[in-house]
Amino acid sequence: MNADYQEMLTGAIHAQGFNLVGYAPLRPLQDDAEKLRAWLDASMHAGMDYLARYFQFRTEPQTLVPGSRSVIALGMNYYNETDAGDAQRLKIARYASGVDYHKIIRKKLKQIVRHLKETGGAQVARGFVDSGPVMERVWAREAGIAWNGKNTLSINPGMGSYFFLACIFTDLEFNCGNPIPDHCGRCRRCIDACPTEAIHDEGYLLDAGKCISYLTIEHKGEIPDAFRGKWQQWMFGCDICQEVCPWNRFSRPTTQTEFQASDDRRELDMDSWLNLTEEEFQGRYGQSALVRKGLGGLQETVRFLHK
C-alpha cells in the first residue's frame, strides 16, 4: 500500500475518534490457538459457551473473511472519572458509564469500511467490535497498539488500558508495525488486588468463573455464596485490576461525549436501585450496556451484595 495513502487513512480513522491505529498482516494464530484451546479445555470460560464456538474462525481469520490480507486494529478511549467519595454508591465499570459502545463504534467502522472501498479500492472490508469470533486483543498486540497485560487486558504505554478495541479485516495490504514489548515486568498489583483471585498467580491467565465482571454480567443463575463480601460494591462489571495498574496513571478522560457519564447515569445507592422502576431504568440506562443484564438481574446482584 502506498505510504501516502496509509498516512491519509490513519488520519481519517483518527478523525472518527479512534486514539490508536495499527496494521498487521492477517495470518493463522497457531500459538494463540493452543493457548485458547487450553483455556477452553480447563473450562476457564465458565458459562460463556459462545467462546468455544467458531474456533477456526477465531484462529484462522481468513476463513472468517475470505480474501482478507490485513487487519487494522483500533482503540478508542472510554476513561471516565468516577466519584469515589460515597461508599454507599454501587459501582458500575467505567466502560458502561455512557452509551453502549457497540452502537457508537459500529457506526464509525461502517464509515471507515466505506472509506476503504471508495478511496483505497478495497474489495473486502469488514469491521468487528466485540461482535464476532475475532481475537481483538491478539490483533491489537500484533498491530503494535498494545501488549497483553498480566490482567489479560490490552495496555498501551501512553494511554493505559481504558479503551475499546475494534478490528477491520481487508484485502488491502499495509506497511505494518511491530508488536509492543511486554512492560508488566515484575509488577503483580492486578494479581494481588483481585478480591476473588480470578487472575492466575503468574498472570496472563484469567479464570472467568471467578471474575467479578463475568459474575455480574454474563453469569446465569444464583451467584455462589463463596463470593459474598468480596465485591467491593461492584454491581455491573469491575475495574479493580485496571485501577491498580500503574500504566493507567496515563489515562485521560475521553473526549467522546457518548462515553461520558451524564448526571442521570451516575451510580445510585442500594435503596435507589431496589426501588427503581422499569420506566425509570430505561430512562436512565436504556442506551447503556446495563440493559444487557436488565433491571431484574441488576437488582438480584444488588440484593446479593447486601444480604
The closest alpha carbon to 16, from 129, 95, 146, 154, belongs to 129
Q: What is the pLDDT averaged over residues 24-39?
A: 97
Which of the residue ranges 49-53, 85-89, 147-151, 253-257 would you say has the lowest mean pLDDT? 85-89
Q: Which residues pair with 160 in a beta bridge?
A: 156
The closest alpha carbon to 73, from 129, 30, 4, belongs to 129
Q: What is the pLDDT averaged over residues 165-188?
A: 95
Rounded to whole angstroms, the Cα distance separating 79 from 97 reads 9
Q: What is the pLDDT averaged over residues 163-177?
A: 96
Predicted confidence at residue 268, as pLDDT, reads 77
Predicted confidence at residue 52, as pLDDT, reads 94
Please tell me which residue in 4, 31, 49, 130 is annotated as part of the active site.
Answer: 130
Residue pair 98/260 in contact by the 8 Å Cβ criterion? yes
Residue pair 37/142 in contact by the 8 Å Cβ criterion? no
Q: At a CB cut-off of 8 Å and minimum separation 6, what does 113 contact? A: 122, 125, 126, 127, 168
The whole-chain average pLDDT of the chain stands at: 93
Q: What is the pLDDT averaged over residues 72-86?
A: 83
Residue 258: alpha-carbon gap to chain centroid = 16
Would the CA dihedral through 42, 153, 210, 94 be positive or negative?
negative
**Percentage of residues in the chain having pLDDT higher than 70:** 96
Predicted confidence at residue 264, as pLDDT, reads 58
User: What does each C-alpha distance from 53 to 2, 37, 83, 247 come to in angstroms?
Assistant: 37, 11, 39, 33
Confidence of residue 170 (pLDDT cuts 50, 70, 90): very high
Predicted confidence at residue 298, as pLDDT, reads 95
pLDDT tens track for 212-242: 999 999 999 889 999 988 888 899 999 999 9
Concerning whether 130 is annotated as a catalytic residue, the answer is yes
The residue ranges of every structural domain in the chain are: 3-81+97-170, 189-255+262-305
